[in-house]
Amino acid sequence: MDPIRTAACYIRVSTDDQLEYSPDSQLKIIEDYAKKHGLLLPQEFVFQEEDGVSGRKADKRPEFQRMIAAAKQDPRPFDVVLVWKFSRFARNQEESIVYKSLLRRDGVEVVSVSEPLMDGPFGGLIERIIEWMDEYYSLNLAGEVKRGMKERVSRGLPVNGAPYGYAYQNGEYVVVPEEAEVVRQIFARYAAGTSAIVLAKELNTQNSDRLWENRTIDYVLQNPVYIGKLRTGIHGRAFNGDGVELFNGKHQPIVDPTLWEQVQQMFADRKRHHRPHDHTANAKKRIYTGLLRCGNCGGTLASGGKADFWQCCRYNHGKCSQSHHTTTAAVTAAVVPTMIHDFETGNFLTNLNVESRFSVPIEQLDRQIGQLKTKLRRVREAYEAGVYTLEEFADSRQKIEAEIARLNEEKNPVPQDKEQLKAEFLRRNRKFLNAFLDPKTTPEEKNAALHRYVDKIVFNRNTNHFDVFYKL
C-alpha cells in the first residue's frame, strides 16, 4: 500500500471578484477533495490570507510566503498544495511558474481541485493557458478599477485613505483642525530653512501617537492634497511624472498655494544641486559596510556621499536622538589595534557567546524532531482510520522513532571548553585577519574578510570608543 500523503491548502479571496467563493466554501471544497483522494489535511497546514489580499504580487501575501517557507523545511512537511483554482495560487503567470517550480524541486505539487488536468505534456499546456487567462482577467480588472478611480477623482472625490490633516467621512476628506495646524507649521518652518530631519525629531517629541521621519515630512511637503488637489496615476510615493494628473478636489485646502509653490521650488533646487553617486559601487569600496552599529539605538551606521563618512541611519531618519558620525580613518585607527590585541591575548572571548555555537543547529534539530513527531501522530491517525494496516503502521513508526532518536543524540554534543573554542576560532580566522591587515588587499576583500569573523563593531559617541564583537 502506498504511504499516506499530507496536503496543505492555500485560500485567498479577492474583493474585486463578485463570483468569488467565500473562504469557508473554498475550504469545504478542498477538504472534500482531500478526503476523496486519501490526503491528510492538518489544520496547521491551512494557509488563508486576510480578505482582499491581492494575488498580483507574492511578496505582498504573508500566508503564501509562510506556506512556501514551510514547504522548504527538511523533512518536507507536506506533499501537495491544494487550491480552489489556480488563480488563487497566483494571478501573475511569471510568479506562478517560479513558485510552482520551486515547490516541485522540493517534491511538492500544486493541484487545483476545480480544474482537473490530464497527465502528460498536454496537461501542462492547459495549465499554462489557464494561468494566462487568469492573468489577463486580473490585468483587465485592474484597468477597469483605474478608470473608475480616475472618473471619481475627476469629480473632486478621493479614492484613497485620508492623509495626515484630514479624516475620511461620507466619501470625502474633512479637515482635522489639530492635525491641519501641524501641517501648516511643517510648511512654514521648512520654508524658513528648518530641515526635514529636525522637524521629524521635534514632532516625535511633541506627538507620541505618531512616528515621524524625514521621508514622511517630505511626503507631506510634496502632497498637493494640502492645496485642494487630488491626483491619479501615482505609483508609490511619486508626486509627478508621466501619467500623473491633478484635479480640483471638493475638500478644504490647508496650506496657502503660494507657500506650497515656494516649498516645491526649494525641493527642485535641492534636487538640482544634489550630485548623484553610485551607492552600490561606493558601498563595495567601503571596508566596514554592514558592520558598524550605533551605540545609542543599535541602528546601522551608513556611509554618506563620501566614502570616509559614517552616520546612524535612524538618526538620519529622525528616529535616533544622538548623532554618531565618524570616519573610516577613525574606525581603522581604533579597530585595527583592538583586533590585533584580541587575537594575541584571546580577549575576544569576552565578546563571544559560547552557547551561540550550538544555538542555530539545536533550533533546526528541534524543528525536525517536532515535524517527525507530527508525522508519527498522522501515521497513527491513518492507522486508526483504516488507511494503514498494523504491519505498515509498525514499520512506519519504527523508522520515524529511530530518526527521532538519532536527532536527539546529535542534539546533545559534548561542548568544547573555552581553550578549545579559542584554539578553533584562531585556527579558522587568523588567515582572514592577516588578509584584512595586508595593504595589498582591496577594500572589497577587506570587507569580506571582516565579515568572516566579526559580528558587529559598536561605536559609542559619548566615550568615542569602538567595541568589536566576534562571531563563531
Regarding whether 29 and 85 lie in a shared domain, the answer is yes
Q: Which of 395, 414, 433 is the last residue of a domain?
A: 414
What pLDDT was estimated at residue 355?
A: 40
Regarding whether 327 and 371 lie in a shared domain, the answer is no
User: What grid cell was written down for 421?
Assistant: 573554542
Residue 361 φ/ψ, nearest 5 degrees: -60, -40
In a domain, 190, yes or no: yes
Q: What is the CATH number of the domain that holds 50?
A: 3.40.50.1390
Longest Cα–Cα distance of the chain, Å, equals 85
Answer whether residue 358 shows pLDDT above 80.
no
Regarding whether 97 and 235 lie in a shared domain, the answer is no
Regarding whether 176 and 232 lie in a shared domain, the answer is yes
Regarding whether 253 and 182 lie in a shared domain, the answer is yes
Regarding whether 342 and 221 lie in a shared domain, the answer is no
Question: What is the 3 state secondary structure string of 275-322?
Answer: CCCCHHHHHHHCCCCCCEEECCCCCEEEECCCCCEEEEHHHHCCCCCC
In a domain, 112, yes or no: yes
Regarding whether 428 and 333 lie in a shared domain, the answer is yes
Regarding whether 101 and 16 lie in a shared domain, the answer is yes
Task: Give SS3 for 466.
Answer: strand
6 beta partners: 40
Instruction: For residue range 149-181, list pLDDT tens digits in order.
Output: 677 777 778 877 788 899 988 888 999 999 999
Instruction: For residue range 281-303, list pLDDT tens digits in order.
Output: 454 457 888 888 898 888 888 87
Query: Number of structural domains, the chain?
Result: 4
Regarding whether 200 and 262 lie in a shared domain, the answer is yes
What pLDDT was estimated at residue 133?
A: 55
Q: Dihedral of the CA atoms 327, 332, 335, 340 (nearest 10)?
A: 180
Regarding whether 440 and 332 lie in a shared domain, the answer is yes
Find how far residue 197's CA is from the centre of its chain: 25
Q: Which of 414, 434, 459 is the last residue of a domain?
A: 414
Range of the domain at 376: 356-414
**How far is Cα 140 from Cα 184, in angstroms, rounded to an integer?**
41
* CB contact set of 390 (below 8 Å; sequence gap of 6+): 383
Regarding whether 177 and 54 lie in a shared domain, the answer is no
Regarding whether 89 and 38 lie in a shared domain, the answer is yes
Question: Which residues of 316-439 form beta strands (DSSP E)?
Answer: 326-327
Q: For residues 216 and 271, which has the higher predicted lDDT (pLDDT)?
A: 216
In a domain, 380, yes or no: yes
In a domain, 152, yes or no: no
* CB contact set of 352 (below 8 Å; sequence gap of 6+): 421, 425, 470, 471, 472
In this structure, is the dihedral angle defined by the CA atoms of residues 6, 39, 83 and 125, taken in order, positive or negative?
A: positive
Mean pLDDT in the chain? 76
